[in-house]
Structure 1
């Protein structure tokens, strides 16, 4: 938590981060790439709970 607080963009850095994000989105659009890489987090690292762990009343909305 302290790490996120200390290293978050503030003031002029927030403008820089916003501009970098805009430039990256434009670059990906021009190259015909997806705006967000679907494998940003490798699928084998994502651990989802089973239906039994979620319980019978849990609704999955896609």
Structure 2
């Protein structure tokens, strides 16, 4: 923004500007994919009608 305001240079031809826009879009896509994976995993476990984990053994702690 400083380059555009003070030096009247375009920002679109800068490689770091393009890289930052590209990385922002990749970050948004990764967050969206993570949310979708979470929803699919929860739906799968709820459809199975069994708990997500099973307790194999309960060990009593005696004082």
- Give the TM-score taking structure 1 as reference length: 0.38
Larger Rg, first or second structure (1 or 2): 2
